[in-house]
Structure 1
Amino acid sequence: MEQTLETPATPRASLVERMLQVAWIGPAIAAVIIYIFFGIVGGASGFLTVAGTAGWLNTAAELGIIAIPIGLLMISGEFDLSTGSVVGASAIIVALGSGFYGLPVAYTFTLALALGVAVGCFNAFLVNWTKLPSFIVTLATNFILAGTSLGLSRLISGSSNVSFKDAGWAEPILASKWNYFNVSVLWWVFAALLAAWVLRQTRFGNWILATGGNADAARRAGVPVSRVKLILFIWTAVSASFVGIMSAVMYNQGNAAQGQGYVFQTAIAAVIGGVLLQGGFGSVTGIVLGCVIYGIVSLGLFYTGWPTDWLQTFIGALLVLAVLTNNIIRNAALSRGARRK
């Protein structure tokens, strides 16, 4: 009788341990619960329709293209708060270059992406050379770039908002729609698959996790920590430039301040998706789910009939719950692993 009681306990315990080791288990459960909630409350108003689904998915996609590399950077132990100004500056470069001066879009797209590379290199150089917290360095970069792009835009065109109407060959690639769904969803899927492959299948992915777990130990083990951070900072900035280009083509205009919402939204999505603030733990699947949750909450409130003033309350509560849940799951996984040893 004792043997019968003990035998099923072992697989159950091992299943719990395996689930606790999955970085995205928490956000997956949260995404299902939140979707069901808004489906019940806002289903009659159209939340469950194709248009309603496309609404929150388009929001999640544009956020996710930046949030995925931001999440990888956070896993390595760093932050990047300059992406918001990179989005706006890239949109202004495209709008001024092609809309105001009539330059070919390929040329202005290249300039915008080059700006992303330059900002990434600048952030990485300051973080690696000065050892200052990336939070402060990239926040300063955000202010510098936002003010510069706004000032130059008004100096050249007399306005912070510049029209851009003819994108030519770029329209179907960056601004097309299918049944309410923006093409940005496909770019988001591509970004997620690329990041997942890098993190799970390459040596560079192991370096990211090692750098975030313990940078000094990783450096002693031969991991090129500075190079890892340089590549990740460039990745985040170039992704932000791409979103700025896409938004300029999609909305036929560039605005120096249009990307400031991404400054904290991307980091919030990554944290909701299971990335630890101290680094060393997280997954691309979790980051994608974090963007889905953010998109559902952002658009779901419109279908409930509740005042949208409560949106920040929902996001703040989600952030607190996500941080607590992530730490609880991670600590439980570590304690179970220690007991097994």
Structure 2
Amino acid sequence: MSEASAPPEDDERVKEISGFRKSLMRPDLGGICGAILVFVFFLLTAFDSGMFSPAGVMNWSIVSAQFMIIAVGACLLMIAGEFDLSVGSMIGFAGMSIALLTTSAGLPMWMAIIFTFIICVAIGALNGWLVVKTGLPSFIVTLAFLFILRGVTIFAAIATTRKTIIGGLREEAAGDWLAPFFGGKVFTGLFQWMGENGWIETFSRGTREGQPVVDGIPMLIVWAIVLVIFGHFLLTRTKFGNWIFAAGGDAQAARYTGVPVNRVKILMFMFTAFCAVVFATCQVMEFGSAGADRGLLKEFEAIISVVIGGALLTGGYGSVIGAALGALIFGVVQQGLFFAGVESSLFRVFLGVILLLAVILNTYIRRAITGEK
């Protein structure tokens, strides 16, 4: 290389970013700090209440997994620059679809689940298509579907069964080959062995005497872990992940570089719907019933989890791991307040405070990245 073409040693146009500032730019920083603070707080205030016993851990892990499943889809969609406010209604719609297809239409459970996935993912595609083709804000389009899906769910339930809650689904799922993938448990043998060796707590009386209190890991938690791993890999290790960031960062510039922005956004709406159906199906298998009011406000809980996890409301920045940590904070706090004997209504106060702090932190990070003042 010639002397003329060699880069100058001290070019004032090149700004060095300190390691500390780089760490501040991590999208999941807020989630990491929040999770540490929450665990420290409840270790100090609720340790003796059983919150961190095997049964207590399973309790808040299940709640966190519920938030986590829908937060993964919401995170990828928000990074792509869009919102989906119909997630909660989609959960209720999907559960009722499974219930009506099995109890009223007489379909086997596996077929009802597959049909429901197809229907709901198609609705997600319609959401995305309307957003990209009309140019309307996704907030408006999905807000409309929030009401449409909730209304259709209630109408279909009442018109078909005269009820808004349909039970008996556990019996319909008995012997079905697909149902255990959403309502079963894994590692039951391992937990049984640990109980027999006194490693975990067992029942001391009753019909379950000698059986472990925690007898396996529910598929709800397995689904949450799988979706988080998939979402993180897709976002950070694939070209499509770069397209998601580009679509949310500057859609027009992304189009100029060949990114199929419209296709990316539609696929993210479809994935969000897929996550909602996973949640709904696990819920149906857990309770053995479907309710027209299921999923109420879940769309906002998903968005809050994502924001706590470091995603910017403007798109183009975020982390699936951060969203998962935000969901974990949700679950731990919701159950931790119960174990600590705190009035449960304060959970909503916590949500408001943590959301405000997360937005302030994310705003600071955005300014650090863009150089705004």
The alignment's TM-score, normalised by the length of structure 2, stands at 0.84
Q: Which residue number corresponds to residue 169 of structure 1? A: 177
Quote the Cα distance in structure 1 between the aligned partners of 2:230 and 2:134.
Answer: 31
Q: Do 1:75 and 1:212's aligned partners in 2 also have CA atoms closer than 8 Å? A: yes
The question of 1:220 aligning with 2:256 is answered yes
Kindly tell me: are residues 52 and 117 of structure 1, through their superposed partners in 2, closer, same or farther at Cα, counting changes over 3 Å?
A: same
The offset of 1:333, in angstroms, is 4.2
Unaligned segments of structure 2, at least 5 residues: 1-15, 189-213
Residue among 133, 137, 143 paired with 1:133: 137
Quote the Cα distance in structure 2 between the aligned partners of 1:200 and 1:110.
Answer: 29
Quote the Cα distance in structure 1 between the aligned partners of 2:303 and 2:17.
Answer: 33
The question of 1:292 aligning with 2:311 is answered no
Q: How does 1:35-46 map to 2 (within 5 A)?
A: 35-46=39-50
Residue among 229, 245, 253 paired with 1:209: 245
Supply the AA of the counterpart residue of 1:85.
Answer: S
The question of 1:52 aligning with 2:56 is answered yes
Q: Provide the secondary structure at the position in 2 that maps to 1:47.
A: coil
The offset of 1:127, in angstroms, is 0.5
The offset of 1:99, in angstroms, is 3.0
Quote the Cα distance in structure 1 between the aligned partners of 2:158 and 2:38.
Answer: 43
Higher helix share: 1
Q: Which residue number corresponds to residue 109 of structure 1? A: 113
Supply the AA of the counterpart residue of 2:239.
Answer: R
The question of 1:249 aligning with 2:257 is answered no
Q: Which residue number corresponds to residue 359 of structure 2? A: 323
Supply the AA of the counterpart residue of 1:328.
Answer: Y
Q: Provide the secondary structure at the position in 2 that maps to 1:218.
A: helix
Q: Provide the secondary structure at the position in 2 that maps to 1:135.
A: helix
Identity %: 36
Residue among 141, 145, 148 paired with 1:144: 148
Q: Do 1:20 and 1:330's aligned partners in 2 also have CA atoms closer than 8 Å? A: no
Q: How does 1:227-238 map to 2 (within 5 A)?
A: 227-238=263-274
Q: Provide the secondary structure at the position in 1 that maps to 2:342.
A: coil
The question of 1:260 aligning with 2:296 is answered yes
Quote the Cα distance in structure 1 between the aligned partners of 2:370 and 2:42.
Answer: 34
Quote the Cα distance in structure 1 between the aligned partners of 2:251 and 2:67.
Answer: 28
Q: Which residue number corresponds to residue 6 of structure 1? A: none
Deviates more, 1:180-189 or 1:149-158: 180-189
Residue among 275, 279, 304 paired with 1:239: 275
Quote the Cα distance in structure 2 between the aligned partners of 1:298 and 1:184.
Answer: 18
Q: Deviations over 1:213-238 (max 9, x none)?
A: 11111112211111011100000011
In the alignment of these two chains, the number of paired residues is: 325
- Which aligned segments of 4 or more residues in structure 1 are displaced greater than 4 angstroms? none
Quote the Cα distance in structure 2 between the aligned partners of 1:269 and 1:193.
Answer: 17
Quote the Cα distance in structure 2 between the aligned partners of 1:234 and 1:256.
Answer: 22
The question of 1:74 aligning with 2:78 is answered yes
The offset of 1:130, in angstroms, is 1.3
The question of 1:29 aligning with 2:65 is answered no
Quote the Cα distance in structure 2 between the aligned partners of 1:100 and 1:228.
Answer: 37
Quote the Cα distance in structure 1 between the aligned partners of 2:130 and 2:370.
Answer: 34
The offset of 1:13, in angstroms, is 7.0
Q: Do 1:100 and 1:162's aligned partners in 2 also have CA atoms closer than 8 Å? A: no
Q: Do 2:79 and 2:311's aligned partners in 1 also have CA atoms closer than 8 Å? A: yes
Unaligned segments of structure 1, at least 5 residues: 1-11
- Report the RMSD for the aligned CA atoms in angstroms: 1.7
Q: Deviations over 1:287-338 (max 9, x none)?
A: 1111111111111110111111111101111100111112213323444xx9
Q: Deviations over 1:109-141 (max 9, x none)?
A: 112101222211111111111111101110110
Q: Do 2:110 and 2:179's aligned partners in 1 also have CA atoms closer than 8 Å? A: no
Quote the Cα distance in structure 2 between the aligned partners of 1:70 and 1:59.
Answer: 17
Q: Provide the secondary structure at the position in 1 that maps to 2:46.
A: helix
Q: Do 2:110 and 2:177's aligned partners in 1 also have CA atoms closer than 8 Å? A: no
Supply the AA of the counterpart residue of 1:329.
Answer: I
Residue among 97, 102, 106 paired with 2:101: 97
Q: Deviations over 1:14-59 (max 9, x none)?
A: 3213312321122101110111102211222122212221111111
Q: How does 1:171-210 map to 2 (within 5 A)?
A: 171-177=179-185, 179=214, 181-210=217-246
The alignment's TM-score, normalised by the length of structure 1, stands at 0.91
Q: Do 2:182 and 2:282's aligned partners in 1 also have CA atoms closer than 8 Å? A: yes
Q: Provide the secondary structure at the position in 2 that maps to 1:222.
A: coil
Give the greater-gyration-radius structure (CA).
2
